[in-house]
Structure 1
Amino acid sequence: MAVEHHPTSTVYERVQQGPDFQELRRRFRAFAFPATAAFLAWYLLYVVLSGWARDFMGTKVVGFINIALIFGLLQFVSTFLIAWQYSRHAERKLDPLADRLRAEVEGDRDAGAAATAADGDAGKENR
């Protein structure tokens, strides 16, 4: 018994299999995975040092400000820095390709809607 494959895939499935979408995924992952790994390593370093290097983290730098407080504040700074870098990356590398894919999908959807409307009008004429 053979399984029949119907070539009727949705516009979204066709776009997902296309080279532009694959390139968009590659560009996203090229930023997201290394940035996530770097941030998690940085955060883990902060947690490990806070738990097992208390003397080092408790070292006073200025007044009541110690290394642990500076590292903690740098967590916020690095979070905002990564968000800013991602917005720049997305604007330059992801958005143009995503806009092109969106236009393709909307064009196919509009063409499909026009074809459906034309089929409906043709059915009315045959009555």
Structure 2
Amino acid sequence: MFHFSLFFLYYFYEGAYMKNSLLQEISIHAFTEFKLGSAEYPDSNSGCTVILSESGYTTGIDIRGGAPASRESGLLNPLAANDGVHAIVLSGGSAFGLDTASGVMNFLAERNIGFPTAAGVV
């Protein structure tokens, strides 16, 4: 069974499928609801990327690989019982990489963004 990505198809056919289909390119600037940010630590060759949405959004997930590490990945299931995800953190899978989500949680909690609980916003 063959699996071709859109990336492969685009370069294999030199963009012909874009000209003959209903697909269209969308600029990243068209997504005004999302805020994108990244932090980098060149000395330790690490960093993270964060996608934020104050109002939340429905998500989906596909975890692959031999030893994937994740935190709260169950919330990314579109059938999960939540009102939406407010941030996605892309980082390394080490304990330090996974802990970058703690900083994002603190950032959102300070701004009262998230899921309300009796103990505070999560």
Q: TM-score range by the shorter chain?
A: under 0.3
TM-score (norm 2): 0.21
Structure number with the bigger relative contact order (C-alpha 8 A, sep ≥ 6) is: 1
Normalization by structure 1: what TM-score?
0.21
